Structure 1
Amino acid sequence: MIHPNTEIKYINDVVGYGVFATELIPEGSITYVKDSLEIVISPTDYLAHTPEMQANIEKYSYIDENGDRIISWDFAKYVNHCCNCNTISTGYGFEMAIRDIYPGEQITDEYGIFNLEVEIPLVCGEKSCRKKVGPQDFESHYEAWDLKIKKSIKHVLEVDQPLMSLLDSKTRTQLDRLVKDPSLYKSVYALKYNKALKSHLPHTMNGLPDVSENLDLT
């Protein structure tokens, strides 16, 4: 679910649609949560679709840490990438504003975190534009992403959070502990999907703790 203080607008024929703030969204605000209405398409289900449907799935989904493709039921799927994005995914599974977002400003995201399988050309227009995003981005940029997240996540309990009630109890507990002890920060690397590792893990190992949960990159 996307933050309620947003709306969808048509931008142009090249970009298509985008999502824009209707009110101030302060730094540290949770801007997206994967709620129970999101469409989850497993790798097996994806292969069962026709090539035409696979193309649509690729356009509007992201791949999570489990290898599932997630399609938002609301207009969160229209959030565009920007190499100088104002929101970003976190290791806690939600997306967050990493600076104040003002009314009329486009909500932008970092697609490199979405476990891309192929390279995608970019049209973000920023001077810092990487020109493309692809499978190599996670390893190349996760440390820089962590620095951005750590700067802003300390405000998560200081600002109004319309989506906070959608977080599960485990995540909320992790945030409460993080605010008290920043060394407990959970790296965005927790969102990386390791296809080879997942395919070789026996079912009895699914309950193993996440080794990246307490990764501190300061």
Structure 2
Amino acid sequence: MMHPKTEVRFVDPATGYGVFATADIPRGTIVYVRDRLEAAYVARRSNRPGPAERPGKTAYADETGVHIVSRDNARYVNHRCDCNVLATAYGFEIAVRDIWRGQEICEEYGLFDLGREIPLACGCTRCRKQLRPDDLKRFHAVWDERIRDALSRTADVSQPLMAHMDAETRQRLRAYFCGEEPYQSVAALCRHTPAVLSAVPPDHPKHAPFEVNG
């Protein structure tokens, strides 16, 4: 589930659609949580979604190789190497910079361990030019630092998605804040199974969008 203060807008013919903030979203705000309305598919022919179930743009695979298909604005979030949102090992994504009203919300696709090289053309000054299978190993320490900094602000900002977070995730987050458990690095997002499919659910009729909106 995506933060309620967002909307999908057309960006340009090359990129397609993106997600934009309809109000200021401060650093430390949880902007996405996985919820029960999202569909999950494994890489087996018997579990392929039918044409009516296929998403309009993107899905992602978690560390177990299960493909998660978002049903709301979350599936239209584009990549930028200087992203303002990062996925965490806790199953949610967090704003690592202040996001102003009207600004596009962009995430780091390197955290999804896609298992192959994918060209990037995000146009930012930090553009890496391509996603690589070892991005998590190369950059997890940098991403962890940004996430921990954002988490330090979580209690000080409005969290409309907290009510939709599952009980286990809330408990893990509370344990981290209370010093009962150490921070869980995004290195834990590395696939536990081989990357049979990447970035799109089985038999998705379109090419992965990363080549044009990255």
Normalised-by-shorter TM-score class = 0.7 to 0.9
Give the aligned residue type for 1:41. Y
Deviation at 1:180, TM superposition (A): 2.6
Deviation at 1:88, TM superposition (A): 0.5
**Structure 2 matches for 1:131-142, cutoff 5 A?**
131-142=129-140
CA gap of 1:47–1:36, structure 2 versus 1, over 3 A, is closer
Q: How many pairs are equivalent?
A: 192
Q: Pick from 57, 74, 79 the counterpart of residue 81 of structure 1.
A: 79
2:40 corresponding residue in structure 1: 40
Q: Distance in 2 between matches of 1:49 and 1:160?
A: 36
> In angstroms, what is the RMSD of aligned CA positions?
2.2
Contact 1:30 1:161 survives alignment (8 Å): yes
Contact 2:120 2:130 survives alignment (8 Å): yes
* TM-score (normalizing by structure 1): 0.81
**Structure 2 matches for 1:37-186, cutoff 5 A?**
37-45=37-45, 48=48, 60-181=58-179, 184-186=182-184
Structure 1 spans left out of the alignment, 5+ residues: 197-218
**Greater RCO, CA 8 A, separation 6+:** 2
Percent of aligned pairs with the same amino acid: 42
Q: Please state which structure has a larger fraction of its residues in helix.
A: 1
2:17 corresponding residue in structure 1: 17
CA gap of 1:138–1:59, structure 2 versus 1, over 3 A, is farther
Q: Distance in 1 between matches of 2:46 and 2:112?
A: 16
* TM-score (normalizing by structure 2): 0.83
Deviation at 1:58, TM superposition (A): 11
Q: Distance in 1 between matches of 2:49 and 2:156?
A: 44
Deviation at 1:45, TM superposition (A): 4.3
Give the aligned residue type for 2:135. D
Deviation at 1:57, TM superposition (A): 6.7
After TM superposition, the runs of 4+ consecutive aligned structure 1 residues lying more than 3 A away are 45-50, 56-59
Q: Distance in 2 between matches of 1:120 and 1:57?
A: 20
